[in-house]
Amino acid sequence: MQIAIVLYPDFTALDIIGPYEVLGRLPGAEVVFVAEDPGLVRNDQRSLSVSPEATLDEVTEPDIVLIGGGPGFFGQLGDGKLHEWLRTVDRTSTWTTSVCTGAPILAAAGLLQGRRATTHWSAFGELERFGAIPAHERVVVDGHYVTGAGVSAGIDMSLTLAGEIAGEETAQMVQLIIEYAPEPPFRAGSIDVAPASVVERARAALG
């Protein structure tokens, strides 16, 4: 089972590393990081670089496609090589998935037309702009598309997908291995519950 995780400049690290930790532990999993071009790809904080194992041209029929988000997603909304690759591999993939603002990239490629999808709370307008139906949920499954909300939701999305692929007990085993039992010290993880002042600062930080 080949899992292709897409890299592009200014990606958010947890968007892809969370799912990597979950999906890479499934039986028979072969994870390959792919990018349009060879060479290191730097994340949004400019302090971490990941080296893709293959270019898009070298990965033609992955079983699972995963694209994360990050500030760099704006540069990936125009039609081009990545969109062409996404449309091609989507024809044969068992699952096409996204985390955070990876969903608008899938939508811009024409894959989420008329489908329910979620993304980071700041980017629901982008989903709607490209014909998807925004769903304010942590994880959304519509057909063979699975989308996760912002950043940390990639772990939830991947565990949901793991249950679909390998069964709930295996997914729970992975959850236990990575000890995913969040107990955040603050009630500010959703725009619905965060204090107004925090939301204002978050919007400013996101630009």
CA 5 vs. chain centroid, Å, equals: 9
Distance CA 147, CA 154 (A): 8
The DSSP call for residue 80 is S
Concerning whether 100 is annotated as a catalytic residue, the answer is yes
Encode burial over 50-80: b for 16+ CB neighbours within 10 A, e otherwise.
bebbeebeebeebbbbbbbbbbbbeebbeee
The residue from 35, 100, 117, 139 that is catalytic is 100
Tokens of residue 160, six digits: 């949901």
DSSP string, 43-56: BTTSS-EE--SEEG
Phi and psi at residue 31, to the nearest 5°: -90, 135
Tokens of residue 20, six digits: 């990597």
Residue 65 CA: distances (Å) to CA of 87, 93, 97, 98, 183: 11, 7, 6, 8, 30
Q: How many CB atoms lie within 10 A of CB 89?
A: 21
Catalytic residues: 100
